[in-house]
Structures are given as structure tokens and as C-alpha cells.
Chain A
Amino acid sequence: MSSREIMLAKIRNSLGRGPLGGDAIQAIEKRLKNPTPNTIPARGQGGAKERAATFSKMASQCDCTVDLLNDVSEIPGALKTYLETNNQPMAIRVAPVADLQDIPWDEEPALVVNYGNAEETDHVGLISAWGGVAESGTIVALSGPQNPTALNFLPDTFVALLYSKKIASNYEEAWSRVRSESNQDNFMPRTVNWITGPSRTADIEQTLLLGVHGPRRVHILLLDNEKS
């Protein structure tokens, strides 16, 4: 017998039954194919405006900084100011995704924009977040052809552009969207990252320190472009 068979047999023996039968399987499959949320906290729920406000509040509590913008054209200026304030180099590594390529970077010639995945030497990374979760101020990033995962972790400074309309109230809402955006049975991308603040540790004498392996700072460009 393979270990697989032995382990399954031992589990069934402990449960005092053989393999599950048709009805039991059907009930489980129903649960797996139509996932229903358990309790959802009230925090985070509300209209688009409330969601954006809760998101900003929660993200700030987790040591993120949030810049509220009304138009794409404000991004280069806002980013330049942020990098200057934090004494960061003006070279940014940008995810090769259409909405970031459409930003009028020329308006800030000081910014050096390179598209692609993060390299060891990159100090600043910019992604376009797939979404956010208001309840905990969490950024959601999905890996894909234009969205490398390393960009979320390697650079010292992690900047995410987030459209306020993409902020879900809670994780369950975000999962429904992941499912519905893919029309496939296997809808998960290779990696789904939930990012809630900069990298941190308390492993040395329980003292909280930021930036141990991942980014030392997280900046969110929250774009409310309902009007545009």
C-alpha cells in the first residue's frame, strides 16, 4: 500500500467509516462549488465612499501612507513629492500593465520609469493593485503576465495605485470578484497577495521594527476617478 492509501485508511478507521458515499459527497461538493460566507464583520461595509474612507483609515493604522488623488494626471507629481519627502531615488520599476503605461510620466522628467519585474537593485516599485479590502486596509495583488509578484517584495519602497471603486468591503467580496472575473473552473492565479502594511518583525526582544525582508514603506495612491 502506498502512504496515500495508508493515511486515508487510518483517517477512515479513526472516523469509524469507509469512504464517503454519494449523498455525503454531494453535500460537500455543493459547499465547495457554491461557497457561502460565514460571519462577515460590519466594519468595511457601506457605499463606495465609506469603503474608501475605512480602507484609508485601516491602511494608515498599519503604517501605510495614503495619498488621495482625483485624476491619473496627478500621479507623477504626487509620486515625485513622496519620493523626495522620503529621500528615495527617482528611479521606479513599474509593472508592465496598461493603466500604468498610460500615466503621463513625461510631466515629471525627474522620474526615471522602467517597466518590468523587480531587480535586486530597484529601490522603488509601482504596481496597479487588483483591489483592496476596506475591513483591514489590505491591498490585493494577483500575479499574471503583466503583474510580477517579486515587485511586491523586493524594492525598499512599495507603491500601489488603487482605484477606489476596486475596494471591496471584505475578503468574501474580493473572492467573489476573483471567481467572477475568471470564467474558468480553476480561477486562482498562481499567487494572490494580501498586503497589509510594510514588512515588520518583533523577533529581536519583541521590539517592533519595519522593513526586515519586504518593503520598508508602503504608499498607496488612492485614485477616486468616479468623476473622470
Chain B
Amino acid sequence: MKPTSANFYTNVDKALVDKTLQKALRKTAVGFPMLRAKAIDALPEFDTLRDDAVTLKNDVLDNLDYYLERFETKAIEQGGQVHWCSDTQEANETVLKICQAANAKTVTKGKSMIGEEMGVNEYLEEHGIEPIETDLGEYIIQLRNEPPSHIVGPAIHVPKEEVAEAFKEAHTELDAERSLEEPQELLEEARAILREKFINADVGITGANFLVAETGSSAIVTNEGNGDLTQILPRVHIVLASIEKVVPTLEDASTILRVLARSITGQDLSVYTTFSTGPRRDDDIDGPEEFHVILLDNGRSEMLGNEFRDMLRCIRCGSCLGHCPIYTTIGGHAYGWVYSGPMGKVLIPNLIGHEQSKHLPNACTMCGKCEEVCPLRIPIPTMNRVWRGKEHEAKYSSRASRIALGFWAFMAKRPKLYHLLAGFKYSILGKIGRKKGRFTSVPFASAWTEGRDLPSPQGRTFQQQWSDRGGKR
């Protein structure tokens, strides 16, 4: 999809007045954090597992070239085919070629953020092949022609009435008067429709949560089982994976699996964890005849050498989204591309370019919650600050904010003058606000004080109080 991240502020304005979205976001803000907290309470080793996961992913990044080649060797030994693709265009062309060689008319798809990044659905459609998303959330947004608004729950912004509307519009072969009021009815309809698609598809495309260097396997996790039906039934299985998805061993994959689902849905494991190695064996009863792995770079090899390297540890659990005060206020679409939330605002500029997404680092209160809940301990706020610095340097920020920052920097470099002015300011504000103890309105900050009061200062600065006490507590 064409990114709209450049219009971040307009997107936010729209999101804030979207009542259905706001209702859905209230649920997200409460639901996911609660599930995570409960799961972690039940596993005393959780933090140690996080440390292990960080260590092993850092080892992967240090030796990424070797692990990728090792994965490739093993996958080929077992009859798989590995396709290295520098960018999304090359990846799309490769997928198309495989589909054309298989004479594919329809392609079923498991949920894949790499697929979203590539825009593989649009590409296949343009070339006469029908892609069908099979994850229920992805299916809903495909019918609505939208990007996902959450990396794990792509359709969390869609109320059931609008799902029903999309189904009625798409499934015209069914009785127009049928009832689709209850979520269960919607599920039954999707199950029946998609079951047929699974059975008739020529090619199945899935993502990959891991590639295992030890064995040449790819692994996916799903709760619905759609990823499995996608890869068992068609003749050809294509795996879309980005290069940082490789892990050394099955033990390492197991460690990450222990922190993955717990961090988002609070499950010990997602319902289905599937390791796939090569195509079907000679004496197997079922399975695909071809097994292809697309290895996509798309900017990641550069990230490996810059300030955003730690972002490559991300396992796409989605935990930072539901815990972020900004994401839970504006939703995923405001970020303007396929990723969103804290991980999105750091990743997106790396993938689509800084100018296209220059305002995203401002989608942050620097509260640090994302880093706190990240199973891979990714320093998202630190990286966000780097983007803010670049925004300032490139003069992407507003002139007023740059002038204000320049003024502040001037003062901050002159401590005596700073303390003098600060003391003056707090003394006056302290006097004016003493009676009420707070300000209900502040010039130039009415938007801020509309929702809350500004507490009034006590009249003396911290530094002044500190020296009053002789520099002691």
C-alpha cells in the first residue's frame, strides 16, 4: 500500500473523532495488558527467558550472514528452494514467478507482515491471480481494502456490524436476508467460505515467525489454524520471511516462543505452532510438493549497521501497541502504513524513508512502557529520540518548535542565566497560583489544559531549595 505516514497529523485528527475506533481502542488498552500480566505472573522464569532471548538474538545479528547461509544449505538439502530478495519489488516478482509456474489461479494466504510490507496481494491481483487472506482479521480487512490496524489483531478497529456489512457485500451467493448479528454467525460464515478456498487453492503463502538455521525449517504460530490449512492443502508452499527471522536452533526458537504469545494474548503458546521443513517426503500422505522460502532484506541489512540495529530483535508480538498511550488513543491506521505503535514508528522510517514518515517520532510521550513490556527489551524510546534528532536536523519539525528548542538550548548552556530566569518564573507562577494550587488555563496551551489542570509551582526551584538546605537532604 501507498504509505500515508506523511499525513500523520491529519490521520490523528480523523482518528480522535472516530467514535467506533475510540470504543475499540478502549478495549485494546485494557484487554491486552491484563492478559499479559496474568500470564507473566504464572511464569516466574519470564524475565530470565527474556534475557536469554535478547542474548540469542544479538548473537544472530552478529553472525547474520553465516546463519542465513546455514539455513539455506539445510533447506536445500531437504528439497526446499531459497530466494534472496533485496527489496519488495524483487520479492513480489519472485512470488509471481512461482505462482505462474504452478499455473495458479487462487492463492491462500496466512497472516504475514512481510506480505503486507510487500503489498503482495495487490501485486498478484494486478497479474491476474486471486489472493485470499485466511486469518479472519486479515480476511475482514482484505474485504474492506484496508491495511491492518494492529500487527496481531489486524481488524480490531472493525465493529461486528461492519464485518457483517463486508460479508454481505462479498458473499453475494448467500441469502441476502440471513442474520449476521452475532460474532458466532460471522465466524460460521467465514469458516464455510474459507474452507472451500483452502481446498481449491493452488498455492499457499505463509509468513514465518522463525527460520531455524540448525534444521532449515520455517515456523509459524497461529490461533486459528489457517496457516496450516494454507500450507498443507495446496501443491506449493511459499514462506515470506525477512532476514532477521533466523534463529540458531530449535531450542532457541522454543525460548522465544515462551515469551511471544505471553506478551500479547497471555497464552503460554498460541494454539498452533508449526515447524515446516522442505516439501512433502516421498512416503508422506500429504503436504505441498514444493517449498519456497523468500528471504527479504528491504533495508534491514542497513539497519544492522546503524542506530536502529536493536529493532531487528523485534519478534512482532504486538505487546508495545496495547501498552502505548499514543497507540491506544489514535489506533494503527494513523501511523499510515502496515506497522504501527511504538515498534512501527521506529521501523517505518527505516523501511519507507524518513521524509515519508517524518512526524512519527512525535507519536510518543517518552513514558518508556514499550521498552518495559518488550520481550526482547528493545530500547524503543532511545531509538525514537534518534529519529527526533534527525527530524530536527532535517528541519522536518515546525519552525516554531525549532526556535523554541534553540532558545531553550541557549539557556541550558548558560546555567547562571537559566537559574536566574527559572527562579524568577517559578516565584511569579507560585504567587499567582498559590490560592488555587493549580491553573485551569494557560496561554498557548489551552488544548493541554482542556483535559486537565496544571499544578502551580511552589514558588522556589529545586536548585534553590537544595542550596537552602545546604545541599543536603
**Which of A19, A38, A207, A211 gathers the greatest number of chain B CB atoms within 10 Å?**
A38
**How many Å lie between the Cα of A193 and that of B220 in the bound state?**
10
**How many Å lie between the Cα of A194 and that of B249 in the bound state?**
17
**How many Å lie between the Cα of A131 and that of B86 in the bound state?**
40
B295 CB-CB contact with A under 8 Å: yes
Interface string of B14-52 (1 = CB under 8 A from A): 000000000010011001000000000001110011001
Is the pair A196, B301 in contact by a Cβ cutoff of 8 Å?
no
Is the pair A38, B276 in contact by a Cβ cutoff of 8 Å?
no
Is the pair A191, B274 in contact by a Cβ cutoff of 8 Å?
yes
Is the pair B43, A43 in contact by a Cβ cutoff of 8 Å?
yes
A76 CB-CB contact with B under 8 Å: no
Q: Which residues of B contact A194 (CB under 8 A)?
A: 269, 272-274
A105 CB-CB contact with B under 8 Å: no
**How many Å lie between the Cα of A85 and that of B268 in the bound state?**
29
B415 to chain A, nearest CB (A): 39
Q: Which residues of B contact A103 (CB under 8 A)?
A: none
Interface string of B286-314 (1 = CB under 8 A from A): 11000000010100011111100000000
Q: How big is chain A's contact interface, by range? A: 35 or more
Q: Which residues of B contact A109 (CB under 8 A)?
A: none
Chain A facing B: main interface SS = loop
The segment out of A29-37, A66-74, A219-227 that lies at the interface is A29-37
**How many Å lie between the Cα of A190 and that of B280 in the bound state?**
6
The segment out of B180-188, B338-346, B371-379, B394-402 that lies at the interface is B180-188
B213 CB-CB contact with A under 8 Å: yes
A82 to chain B, nearest CB (A): 20
Q: Which residues of B contact A138 (CB under 8 A)?
A: 269, 273
Interfacial residues of chain A within 14-41, with CB under 8 A of chain B in the complex: 14-16, 19-20, 24-25, 28, 31-32, 35-41
Q: Which residues of B contact A212 (CB under 8 A)?
A: 136, 187, 190-191, 224-226
Is the pair B254, A172 in contact by a Cβ cutoff of 8 Å?
yes
A120 to chain B, nearest CB (A): 6
Is the pair A32, B70 in contact by a Cβ cutoff of 8 Å?
yes
Q: Which residues of B contact A40 (CB under 8 A)?
A: 45
B467 CB-CB contact with A under 8 Å: no
Is the pair B85, A3 in contact by a Cβ cutoff of 8 Å?
yes
**How many Å lie between the Cα of A32 and that of B252 in the bound state?**
10
**How many Å lie between the Cα of A32 and that of B65 in the bound state?**
15
**How many Å lie between the Cα of A187 and that of B278 in the bound state?**
12
Is the pair B63, A28 in contact by a Cβ cutoff of 8 Å?
yes
Is the pair A213, B278 in contact by a Cβ cutoff of 8 Å?
no
Q: Which residues of A contact B137 (CB under 8 A)?
A: 201, 203
Is the pair B285, A7 in contact by a Cβ cutoff of 8 Å?
no
Provided the pairs A188-B217, A201-B224 are in contact, do residues A214 and B268 lie with their beta carbons within 8 angstroms?
A: no
Is the pair A204, B136 in contact by a Cβ cutoff of 8 Å?
yes
Is the pair B43, A41 in contact by a Cβ cutoff of 8 Å?
yes
Is the pair B74, A186 in contact by a Cβ cutoff of 8 Å?
yes
B96 to chain A, nearest CB (A): 16
B428 CB-CB contact with A under 8 Å: no
**How many Å lie between the Cα of A189 and that of B158 in the bound state?**
40
B199 CB-CB contact with A under 8 Å: yes
Provided the pairs A136-B269, A213-B226 are in contact, do residues A150 and B232 lie with their beta carbons within 8 angstroms?
A: yes
**How many Å lie between the Cα of A148 and that of B232 in the bound state?**
10
Q: Among A7, A172, A211, point to the contact of B243 (Cβ < 8 A).
A: A7
Provided the pairs A13-B305, A204-B186 are in contact, do residues A117 and B225 lie with their beta carbons within 8 angstroms?
A: no
B355 CB-CB contact with A under 8 Å: no
Is the pair A201, B255 in contact by a Cβ cutoff of 8 Å?
no
Is the pair B65, A15 in contact by a Cβ cutoff of 8 Å?
yes
Provided the pairs A32-B214, A214-B271 are in contact, do residues A205 and B305 lie with their beta carbons within 8 angstroms?
A: no
Q: Among B45, B136, B194, B215, point to the contact of A39 (Cβ < 8 A).
A: B45
Closest-by-CB residue of B relative to A188 is: B277
**How many Å lie between the Cα of A187 and that of B74 in the bound state?**
11
B233 CB-CB contact with A under 8 Å: yes
**Which of B70, B134, B226, B251 gathers the greatest number of chain A CB atoms within 10 Å?**
B251
**How many Å lie between the Cα of A138 and that of B221 in the bound state?**
13
A199 CB-CB contact with B under 8 Å: yes
B206 CB-CB contact with A under 8 Å: no
**How many Å lie between the Cα of A36 and that of B255 in the bound state?**
11
Q: Which residues of A contact B153 (CB under 8 A)?
A: 202-203, 206
Is the pair B228, A214 in contact by a Cβ cutoff of 8 Å?
yes
Provided the pairs A10-B297, A213-B225 are in contact, do residues A186 and B78 lie with their beta carbons within 8 angstroms?
A: yes
Q: Among A2, A15, A58, A62, point to the contact of B84 (Cβ < 8 A).
A: A2
B176 to chain A, nearest CB (A): 21
Closest-by-CB residue of A relative to B303 is: A14
Is the pair A145, B285 in contact by a Cβ cutoff of 8 Å?
yes
Apart from A14-B306, A143-B284, A213-B134, list 10 A-B contacts with CB within 8 A: A14-B304, A20-B66, A32-B213, A38-B49, A116-B285, A120-B199, A149-B228, A171-B254, A201-B223, A206-B28
Pick 10 A–B contacts, CB within 8 A, sort by A: A7-B84, A7-B301, A145-B284, A186-B216, A190-B277, A196-B269, A199-B272, A203-B135, A204-B140, A214-B224
In the A-B complex, list the 5 residue pairs whose CB atoms are closest, starting with the nearest: A214-B225, A14-B305, A203-B137, A10-B301, A35-B249
